[in-house]
Every structure is written in C-alpha cells, then in structure tokens.
Amino acid sequence: MNDGADETDLAIVLGTRPEIIKLAPILRECLRTETEFTLVHTGQHYSDSLDSVFFDRLELPDPDYNLGVGSGSHAEQTGEMLIEVGRVLERESPEVVLVQGDTNSVLAGALATSKLDAKLGHVEAGLRSFDREMPEETNRVIADHVADYLFAPTEESKENLLREGIPESRVTVTGNTVVDALYRNREIARRKSTVLSDHGLEGREYFLMTVHRAENVDEESRFRKILEGADRAAARHSVEIIYPIHPRARDRLDRFGIDVSDRIRLVEPLDYLDFLRLEASASVILTDSGGVQEEACVLGVPCVTMRDSTERPETVSVGANRLSSCDPDRIVRTVGEMLRTDLDWENPFGDGTAGERILREVAPQTERVRQ
C-alpha cells in the first residue's frame, strides 16, 4: 500500500470481480514481503456485491485510487479508463505495472503503461479462445503484445504466446493465481460460510450456475436457450439450480421479460467464501465464466461450459469440463455425461504459489523491497 509519502515502484491496476480475486494473492504477497505498491481501481465494477465485498472478505487494503469510471459502451469505458489510469501512472511513475486477465480495465491499464516509461506485467497471459467475437479475446491479445513480463498459467498458454512471436525470454510459467486464492480460502469457506444452511441446501443435491458473458446474455434467443437447457437438465435429474446472477444478466432478464422456471433459483451475487462453498458442494457447475471453469477443475467438481469455445482448454483435456454451446439438447446431454464422469483429474493450474513467483520476478525491478 502506498502511504502517500512518495512514489512507489510497483503499481497494480484492477477493476472487476475476477481481477480482485486473482490479484489478491499478489497483494497479500506484497504485504508479506513489505513490498510497496500503488493500488489503482478503475471502478469498472462498483456495486458492493461485485467489488467491496471482495476487499472485505479477502482482507485487502483499500485502493489508493478509485477512478470511478463505471459502466458505459466499450469505447467510453475503455477510453475513460485509459485517460484516468494514464494520469495516475504519470503521477506515480512506477517501474512496473501489473494487470490481470482480459477485461476492459486490463486493456486500459496495458495501453496506458505502454505509452509510458514503465514495464508491464500481464498476469494470466497467453489464454486464447481464438474467437475474436468476444471482447475479452481482443483485450488479452493486446495486453500480451505490449507486455514485458508475461505470466502464463500453463505450458499451453506459453505455447500460444510463442506461436505469436513473443520472445520466450519474456514468458514465465507460474500457474494461475486462482489456485493460490482457492487454497487459501476453501478451508475458511468450509468453516465460516453458512450459505448451504441459509439456502436450505445442506445434504441436498443441486447444480450451480453462472451465466453473464455478453455473447450469452445480450442476445435474447441465446439467453432463453441456455435457460431452457439448464432447466431441462435440472428436471431430468430432479434437482434445483442455484444461479447467483450477475447484474448484466439480471438487467437482460428484466429487459427481455424472461420468466425463469421455478427449478432455477436466482440469488444475488455471492461473496467469494459463500460462492466457493457452493461450488465445492455442487453436483455439477454450469457456467460461461472463465474463473469458474478453473475453480471447478481445481475443486474436482465437473463443469459444463455453455459456450462455443474456451480459453481454458486444459480443463477440457484433463476431463473436468465439456463445452455444450447454448443448444438446449446439448446442455442436457453434456450435464448427463459430466455427472457420470470420473473425478480423478489432475489440477493443471499449478501448486498455489503463482503469486509468490510473480512478485519475485518483478521485485528486482522495484527498489523498495525488503529481501
């Protein structure tokens, strides 16, 4: 954390729920090693349930700057973040800036850094869905190509980078910080979370679902098909689906006037501990989230990804995840297959020390580190 006395050598830029969760292990490592940093929040996510609840639960320091950019078109949101992040970085003149993932906050943080005399570290580099229709794909490709340090979670993501001509010397395979966060919190979640009893789920079989990606919820017919497939799968197995609904999806449901079946229980977005607990006890997880695909895989819970592609192919190749697209028949069939699958896959995302490795890699570039 920056005490405001003077400039720090490391800046960390974040803006959304998954970035807070996946950067938490690096922030905690900074605190442990007394590495000073400036924490910049773009304000892309601002609702308590997507933002402050994670700072509380993960015991993270408040951001030094909250740029309050909020929602808007891609161009407005990204443009405003670019200007505001650029101003902060000029003022703080860090040696190294870290961003994580593939959101518009990452794109803005990466571009702003690339215009200045600072090095960029991209955490979770090299993921590719090979689908340029998704805004996240463009964001991650651009961030990778302007980054100086590329922290690839797996050998497969490293290969993607090398194929695009990125020099090997810039790439370090670290595992994914999602594992660090999960290992640190799953036991705490088991002890502290009362989510199962609060929702009457103790000892009951249920499916967990998250659907929020623009390509799935912004188009009415696609969103309806996904809900139909999920509902039919739940009916076939006589279970209920718990759906903590992201505000984007809630907005689209209301706008399209979709009535959700009684078998799908909509709940508010959950804090990380409650969500981890629900994931760990679910029979199957249906999702379009990146982070949730990884967490299901690490927790040993079978996953059905309701998309046409995934930038997490490791989850599929180890047998933890299958793509169902948004076709209702395929969703029902894939859920059935995943319920029958063996649960003995290996976690491909590392040993939970990614945060430590990443900070060790960038720390020599920064001066104010106690070795």
Q: Does 103 bind ligand UD1 (CB under 6 A)?
A: yes
Q: Does 100 bind ligand UD1 (CB under 6 A)?
A: no
Please tell me what DSSP assigns to residue 168: G
The residue among 174 and 310 lying less far from ligand UDP, judged by its C-beta, is 310
Among 251, 308, 327, 361, binds ligand UD1 (CB under 6 A): 251
The contact pattern for ligand UDP, residues 284-303, with x = CB under 6 A and - = no contact, is -----xxxx--x--------
Residues tagged active-site: 212
The residue among 2 and 315 lying less far from ligand UD1, judged by its C-beta, is 315
Total of chain residues touching ligand UD1, rule CB under 6 A: 19
Among 272, 302, 307, 354, binds ligand UDP (CB under 6 A): 272
Q: Does 44 bind ligand UD1 (CB under 6 A)?
A: yes
What is the SS3 string spanning 210-260? ECCCHHHHCCHHHHHHHHHHHHHHHHHCCCEEEEECCHHHHHHHHHHCCCC
The residue among 136 and 294 lying less far from ligand UD1, judged by its C-beta, is 136
Laid out side by side, the sheet with 38-41 consists of: 65-66, 38-41, 10-14, 96-100, 119-123, 149-152, 171-173
Please tell me what DSSP assigns to residue 121: E
For 341, left (φ over 0), alpha (ψ -120 to 50), or beta? Answer: beta
Question: Taking the complex as a whole, how short is the minimal distance between the CB of residue 161 and ligand UDP, in angstroms?
Answer: 20
The count of C-alpha atoms lying within 13 angstroms of the C-alpha of 246, restricted to the half-sphere facing its C-beta, is 19
Q: 275: closest CA among 202, 339, 186? A: 186
Question: Taking the complex as a whole, how short is the minimal distance between the CB of residue 77 and ligand UD1, in angstroms?
Answer: 6
**Cβ neighbours of residue 256 closer than 8 Å, sequence gap 6 or more:** 220, 223, 224
Q: Which range of residues in 39-47, 150-158, 277-285, 328-336 is near ligand UD1 by CB under 6 A? A: 39-47
Q: Does 352 bind ligand UDP (CB under 6 A)?
A: no
Number of H helices, E strands in the chain: 16, 13
21 binds, among ligand UDP, ligand UD1, none (CB under 5 to 8 A by kind): ligand UDP
Among 17, 122, 128, 265, binds ligand UD1 (CB under 6 A): 17
Token pair, residue 257, equals 């006037």
104 binds, among ligand UDP, ligand UD1, none (CB under 5 to 8 A by kind): ligand UD1
Please report the sign of the dihedral spanned by the C-alpha atoms of residue 265, residue 266, residue 272, residue 274.
Answer: negative
**Cβ neighbours of residue 173 closer than 8 Å, sequence gap 6 or more:** 152, 153, 154, 155, 157, 158
195 binds, among ligand UD1, ligand UDP, none (CB under 5 to 8 A by kind): none
**Cβ neighbours of residue 227 closer than 8 Å, sequence gap 6 or more:** 258, 260, 261, 264
The count of C-alpha atoms lying within 13 angstroms of the C-alpha of 92, restricted to the half-sphere facing its C-beta, is 30
Among 2, 16, 35, 324, binds ligand UD1 (CB under 6 A): 16
CB 64 within 8 A of CB 100: no
Among 35, 42, 104, 172, binds ligand UD1 (CB under 6 A): 104
Q: Does 21 bind ligand UDP (CB under 6 A)?
A: yes
Among 61, 79, 86, 135, binds ligand UD1 (CB under 6 A): 135
Distance CA 233, CA 225 (A): 12
Q: What angle do CA 197, 200, 202 make, to 5 degrees?
A: 60
The contact pattern for ligand UD1, residues 252-291, with x = CB under 6 A and - = no contact, is ----------------------------------------
Question: Taking the complex as a whole, how short is the minimal distance between the CB of residue 251 and ligand UDP, in angstroms?
Answer: 15
Where along the sequence are the contacts to ligand UDP (CB under 6 A)?
Answer: 17-18, 21, 210, 244, 269-270, 272, 275, 289-292, 295
Where along the sequence are the contacts to ligand UD1 (CB under 6 A)?
Answer: 16-18, 44-47, 50-51, 71, 103-104, 135-136, 212, 246-248, 251
